Amino acid sequence: MPNDEQGKILLAIARASIGSAFGRTLLPDTSAPWLAEAGATFVTLTQNGELRGCIGSLEAHRPLLDDVQANARAAAFRDTRFAPLTEDEFDRTRVEVSLLSAVQPLTFRDEQDALAQLRPGVDGVLLEYGHHRGTFLPQVWEQLPRKEDFMAHLKYKAGLPPDFWAEGVKLSRYTVEKWKENAS
């Protein structure tokens, strides 16, 4: 199936999932066999180009259909950085769906070696240290194109100081295919 067609279907499913909370009946095509395969997605909501919610899965642990529906509702109503989406906001909110590849651990000697391996604009990055965990999708490189800034903000997102580094830091990377609704 062409990727554009896959994207149209995933975007329609995400929008319908959010709309159902407001009593709107949107009927996306959910018949594609690939929707039953395990998949990991992030759903990002924006208004006027500004983030309005973003929730996702790093690992494929349920059918793609279920994953995109659940993450769309979570991005709209359970992202703790924002108040739940209101019906008044629904029509002016743009939906983006990112389909993640498998997460691949990085092997590195130190922070400089890790930074040298990152591919700006390509890699999504998962940082883990003890109970601290944070991820940035590859799209975040658009706001933070310098590797050092990207990593500092990722550490902060994970609840660590921006200049933190320790031997137990784990980094993994992944790529995404992404689709975004056009602004109306």
In a shared domain, residues 51 and 79 = yes
Span 128-151, mean pLDDT?
96
Span 46-59, mean pLDDT?
94
In a shared domain, residues 121 and 33 = no
pTM as predicted? 0.91
Task: Determine the structural domain holding residue 109 and report its residue range.
Answer: 104-174
Which of 68, 100, 132 delimits the end of a domain? 100
Place of tokens 């890790």: 114
Which of 52, 77, 100 delimits the end of a domain? 100
Taken in order 129, 135, 141, 143, the sign of the CA dihedral is negative
1 pLDDT band (50/70/90 cuts)?
very low
Supply the pLDDT for residue 184: 53
CA distance 176 to 101: 6
Could you tell me the CATH number of the domain that includes residue 140? 3.30.1490.150
Residue 122 has pLDDT above 60, yes or no: yes
CA distance 106 to 42: 21
Residue 2 has pLDDT above 60, yes or no: no
Q: Above pLDDT 70, what percent of the chain?
A: 98
In a shared domain, residues 15 and 91 = yes
Q: In this structure, is residue 181 part of a structural domain? A: no
> Domains in the chain: how many in total?
2
The answer to whether 174 touches 103, Cβ cutoff 8 Å, is yes
Q: If DSSP codes are grouped into helix, strand and coil, which group holds residue 80? A: coil
